[in-house]
Chain A
Amino acid sequence: MNADAKRIPAPVGLLAELTHRCPLGCPYCSNPPALEPRSDELDTAIWKDVFSQAAALGVLHAHLSGGEPAARRDLVEIVAHCAKVGLYTNLITSGVGLTEALVNALAEAGLDHAQLSIQDSEAGSADRIAGYEGAFARKQSAAAWIARAGLPLTVNAVIHRANVQRAGKMVELAVALGARRVEVAHTQYYGWAMINRAALMPTAAQAETAIAEVEALRKTYAGVIVIDHVIPDYHARYPKACMGGWGKRGLNVTPSGKALPCHAAETIPGLEFWNVRERSLEDIWFNSPAFNAFRGTDWMREPCRSCDRQTIDYGGCRCQALALAGDAREADPVCHLSPHHGKVADVAAEASSEIPEYAYRRMKLFEPAQ
């Protein structure tokens, strides 16, 4: 075992972006603007090896994500492998691309849990947000197949201006779909969501109403559904600990094998990412420059350096510090102690309640046909 292993805790979760291909085009998608093409994707054998290494390293949860993971033809084989090496395996899906046969095969292969995204509680609006006619109806079928296969279901709802009025309705829909858990997450502005920020951000009043509505439902549905609520950064006083602390709890692997401390880490210039094709996951976790860049608190500047919340929120999100304060070493400007906090207020003040056109998440225009 590596000497650093004493200091650095083992990772708890691995988010595997199996592919960036996805039939939907959600404007709030956290994938990077430059999506990785199919020709760069890791093959089945490498993914299996990555999951074996992850289990040996101490990873407990494997999150199979994307894009839409069902776009991979080897999904069942990958799930079976994760189950074999003892990982708790969670499928993060849009539901589009699933069939009843595939859901049953995944359940049989040992899938532990499925997480299904919904875009809205109203079909027309949901399909418009997803940029996909009929997506809402297909998700209803997917939820029914998941329930019939005996798999526990989490429904995930990302909140933004077009659906903020129906945050509570989306919780009710999750209950109706048979979910045991619902994640209501106000949009975090990375990747495509950053591109679409002006079209996505609700007003502070809208966000507050939605938050109160969802919080009130906790009581109504106690013991029926667990509500995990991610409230919006832009109206908060303190930032969230990004990923529970950089290089502390989890890692992402992109379709082409790059290991990232968080899904937006590639936006930070000068970070060196290692690839699972060339390095072991253990080597990456303990030694890669990108993971060590913002580990712990040594890298901090003021106001974080002398702040007693530094091991609570770890200075917040590095990518947001970069985007709003111009340097990833700054405090997350969401923090009211940041000298750049005014920029957050400026962005938040721009928010309106009109719903403009989106830049839908798409692969590059001239990518070769697949």
Chain B
Amino acid sequence: MNEPIREAAPSKPRLPRGVRLKHDETRGEWLLLAPERVVKADAIAVAILQRCDGEATFDAIVDDLAATFSADRARVEADVRALLDDLAAKRMVDL
């Protein structure tokens, strides 16, 4: 059970049941909801998390983001990895 968070290479990240990305009308912002937790999601986080559908691989998500935002792939990869590792440690993303 106690395996460390894997290197993201072949993974297909997804939001597990019980974690929801929601646009909150009252506060006018995107939020990631989990039990007893509310995390504000900025535009980059939203773009990443919307692609974490359990079907796209980590690499495909990075390619897609780099293409969509015409950004440097290495930068994008570092951002995606940092966000997903952080959320995985909080058990808010399954890698």
Q: Which residue of B lies closest to A178 (CB)?
A: B1
Contact residues of A between 1 and 56, Cβ < 8 Å to B: 10, 12
The distance from the CB of B95 to the nearest CB of chain A, in whole angstroms, is 9
Contacts of A151 in B (CB 8 A): 17-18
Within 8 A of A (CB), among B17-45: 17-20, 22, 24, 26-27, 31, 33-36, 38
Chain B interface (Cβ within 8 Å of chain A)?
Answer: 1-5, 16-20, 22, 24, 26-27, 31, 33-36, 38, 88-91
Tell me if A228 and B36 are in contact (CB < 8 A): yes
Supposing A58-B24, A223-B4 touch, asked if A181 and B91 sit within 8 A by C-beta, the answer is yes
Measured between beta carbons, the chain B residues less than 8 angstroms from A223 are 2-5, 88-89, 91
Which residues of chain A have C-beta atoms less than 8 A from B88's C-beta? Answer: 223
Do A58 and B26 form a contact, CB below 8 Å, given A152-B35, A223-B4? yes
| Least CB separation from B94: chain A residue | A180
Contact in complex: B27, A10 (CB < 8 Å): yes
Binding site for B on A (CB under 8 A): 10, 12, 57-58, 60-61, 86, 88, 90, 112-113, 115, 150-152, 154, 175, 180-181, 183, 220-226, 228
Whole-angstrom CA separation of A152 from B26 in the bound complex: 27
Assembled-state Cα–Cα distance A60/B30 (Å): 12
- Please name all residues of chain B whose beta carbon is closer than 8 Å to the beta carbon of A222 when the two chains form the complex: 89
Name the contact of B33 in the complex, choosing from A57, A88, A224, A225 (C-beta under 8 A).
Answer: A88
Q: What CA separation (Å) do A152 and B16 show in the bound complex? A: 8
What A residues does B89 contact at CB under 8 A?
222-223
B18–A175 contact, CB under 8 A?
A: no
Closest 7 A/B residue pairs (Cβ)? A152-B18, A58-B26, A113-B35, A113-B18, A88-B33, A180-B91, A223-B5
CB distance from B1 to the nearest CB of A (A): 6
